[in-house]
Amino acid sequence: MKKTFSTLALILFIFAGISAYCQDSKTGDAIKNIIETGKQSGKITVDGTALFNQTSLPVFYSNHNYAPAWSDHANTQDILEILKNSYDEGLNPQDYYLSQIEKYITMINNGQGVPEVRAKLDLLLTDATSLYADHLLYGKVMQSDIRKNWNVPKAPTPSNPDSLFTLALSTHQLPVLFDTLKPANFMYTGLREGLKRYRTIAANGGWDSIPAGETLKKGMTDERVALLRKRLNVTGDLSSDVQTENENYFDEVLETAVKKFQFRHNLNQDGAVGKNTLARMNIPVEDKINALRVNMERGRWVMHNLDPDFLVVNIAGFNLRRVTNGEVVFYSPVIVGRKYHETPIFKSRMIYFEINPTWTVPYSIATKEMLPKLKKNPGYLKEKNMVIMNQDGTILDPSSIDFSKYSRGNFPFTIRQEPGPRNALGRVKFIFPNPYSVYVHDTPGQSLFSREERDFSHGCIRTKDKWGLLMNLMDEPDVWNMEKINEILATKKTTRVNLKKPINIFILYWTAGADKENRIFFDKDVYDRDGAVLEALDKPVDYHKAQ
């Protein structure tokens, strides 16, 4: 289990010492008794439920003579509403003891507020508040428990949490404070609004499936066209104000609506409803809701305190963006790793690029894919503009090597592809140091960019608009233009250029997103990662793993 936001949990409730609060000695005695009994048994519990913050809670209450923290009715009502609203964040309010808290509040309101009841309520509110704050800051799910090779730094702890919470409580600003704990990013905000929208769609019955059949396209008349209109009305791709004389006729307005849907689902925008588009339209609304919740959780992992300028690759969306001050200033389609050669998730810093790169073939590819070809045809290397070297780096004549003597376990050579238009890395590669030997690069296989699903590589990221990326990063149009680039290409020599302004790059995985125009986007879960995140997100908090 991840370490909770212990600093917050420890000083979250400094307000217990604020003089404005009542010092209920009997309730304090009951709080102390519950805590001391829990210490003796090994677990602090309330009605059999183990509290999550087993270490910091006792320290906090002890430091404040076990005074109740929630004597102010307004703050109690605020935090109750905040915990209920965790539903809007894609989380489960019951993870934060909501039913138990409401039970004790009802008992107190009915005159049954004996010290022990008030003590239990106080402990639950304290623990729930710090736990929910932890989930907003870092996510409920620990990604590294689901997928290894998770290499994105944890969000930093907010500075001065004691003064922040003291001020919020003394001025009854808990809702404002909790808003600051959520990612302040337009995509996260858009996902939250999208979640509300799709939950409303679900409450209204969702949408009907469109039966399979021939591709629907402009100019056709088909009974399924009326169903298509209704389907696109539900998600707003086709305005409900649009009137037509024949609902079964596929007109130009409907074609435009289909293109909007295809754009939001990262499909080729041909305006026709073929197999792939139909399959996406028939995904149940409940699955869309789950995708939104999963990606809000991913947002809580990485969207806090983002740099004003960064690059981000969305593996599932097959794209690379540069985001500057909240605006997308560069975009390119990309190719990512096959499912059995997944592109890893990590954060790094791009520091240089190389024009006319060489490609040192990884040992696994050299032995698994190339060695069998070399055994049949030693001339294969020359055909691919490659050289073979010994361990000292000396270039050898392939015809002098008996490749039949070697296997995947004893191959002592290095294969390198020389610069040129047929190089596997194309004409340029962009380097950001990482333990996976992954980088962004050009590719001679440009035809693959026309595919809707572009998972073809061994893990590296191939970009379509390589020169656009280079010139965007250099931002010197008078210096870095195609004339200069062509001059370097003509030399056929590998040329390294350091970025004047190195830039952070995130390699991430998003199957749902949003933009500033309130459009919701969905991408196919090409690596089948959403299910594990959703399962962990839906599991109740395991209080038996409490800290």
CATH number at residue 230: 1.10.101.10
Q: Which two tokens stand for residue 382?
A: 């020359």
Give pTM, 2 decimals: 0.90
Whether 449 and 385 share a structural domain: yes
Q: Quote the pLDDT of residue 144.
A: 73
In-domain check, residue 203: no
Q: Quote the pLDDT of residue 161.
A: 55
Which of 151-160, 296-305, 445-454 is least confident? Answer: 151-160
Report the 10 Å Cβ neighbour count for 187.
Answer: 21
pLDDT (tens digit per residue) in 100-132: 999 999 999 998 889 999 999 999 998 998 899
Q: Quote the pLDDT of residue 174.
A: 84
Spatial CA neighbour of 301 closest among 160, 90, 503: 90
In-domain check, residue 291: no
For residues 454 and 20, which has the higher predicted lDDT (pLDDT)?
454
Strand order from edge to edge, sheet including 395-396: 359-360, 414-417, 386-389, 395-396
Confidence of residue 402 (pLDDT cuts 50, 70, 90): very high
Kindly report the CATH number assigned to the domain that includes residue 388.
2.40.440.10
CA dihedral (133, 56, 4, 84) positive or negative: negative
CA triplet 111, 114, 118: central angle to 5 degrees?
A: 100
Q: Quote the pLDDT of residue 108.
A: 92
Helix segments in 12-72, DSSP class H: 25-41, 56-63
Strands 428-431 and 520-522: unpaired
- Rounded Cα gap, residues 225 and 210, in angstroms: 9
C-beta separation of 339 from 454 below 8 A: no
C-beta separation of 440 from 469 below 8 A: yes
139-167 mean pLDDT: 70
Helix 115-138 vs helix 98-109: angle between axes, to the nearest 10 degrees? 150
Whether 24 and 133 share a structural domain: yes
Phi, psi (rounded to 5 degrees) for 428: -160, 145
Whether 399 and 485 share a structural domain: yes
Evaluate if residue 164 carries a pLDDT over 70. Answer: no
Whether 264 and 386 share a structural domain: no
Which of 27-36, 161-170, 186-195, 255-264 is least confident? Answer: 161-170
441-469 mean pLDDT: 95
Helix/strand/coil (H/E/C) assignment for every residue in 218-281: CCCECHHHHHHHHHHHHCCCCCCCCCCCCCCECCHHHHHHHHHHHHHCCCCCCCCECHHHHHHH
Residue with tokens 């691919």, as numbered in its chain: 384
In-domain check, residue 222: yes
Evaluate if residue 16 carries a pLDDT over 90. Answer: no
Q: Quote the pLDDT of residue 13.
A: 42
For residues 348 and 6, which has the higher predicted lDDT (pLDDT)?
348
Q: Quote the pLDDT of residue 130.
A: 86
Whether 233 and 313 share a structural domain: no
Whether 100 and 24 share a structural domain: yes
360-371 mean pLDDT: 93
Phi, psi (rounded to 5 degrees) for 511: -110, 0
Whether 330 and 422 share a structural domain: yes
For residues 163 and 218, which has the higher predicted lDDT (pLDDT)?
218
Whether 340 and 246 share a structural domain: no
Confidence of residue 168 (pLDDT cuts 50, 70, 90): low
Evaluate if residue 20 carries a pLDDT over 50. Answer: no
Evaluate if residue 69 carries a pLDDT over 90. Answer: no
In-domain check, residue 266: yes
Report the 10 Å Cβ neighbour count for 490.
Answer: 9
Residue with tokens 């307000």, as numbered in its chain: 15
SS3 310: strand
In-domain check, residue 29: yes
Evaluate if residue 91 carries a pLDDT over 80. Answer: yes
Evaluate if residue 167 carries a pLDDT over 70. Answer: no
SS3 521: strand
- Split into its structural domains, the chain has a count of 3
- Rounded Cα gap, residues 330 and 479, in angstroms: 19
The pairs formed by 199-205 with CB atoms below 8 angstroms and a separation of 24 or more are 199/289, 201/234, 201/235, 201/285, 202/285, 202/286, 202/289
Q: Quote the pLDDT of residue 388.
A: 96
Q: Quote the pLDDT of residue 12.
A: 46
Whether 398 and 274 share a structural domain: no
Whether 277 and 319 share a structural domain: no
What mean pLDDT, rounded, does the chain reach? Answer: 90
- Rounded Cα gap, residues 157 and 421, in angstroms: 48
Evaluate if residue 1 carries a pLDDT over 50. Answer: no
Whether 251 and 333 share a structural domain: no
Q: Quote the pLDDT of residue 171.
A: 75
- Centroid of chain to Cα 426: 29
Strand partners, 333: 319
In-domain check, residue 253: yes
- Centroid of chain to Cα 25: 47
- Rounded Cα gap, residues 434 and 151, in angstroms: 10
Dihedral angle of Cα 266, 317, 142, 164, to the nearest 10 degrees: -80
In-domain check, residue 454: yes
Helix 73-84 vs helix 115-138: angle between axes, to the nearest 10 degrees? 50
Q: Quote the pLDDT of residue 60.
A: 82
In-domain check, residue 197: no
Whether 310 and 276 share a structural domain: no
Domain of residue 322: give its range.
306-512
Percent above pLDDT 70 for the chain: 91
Q: Quote the pLDDT of residue 94.
A: 96
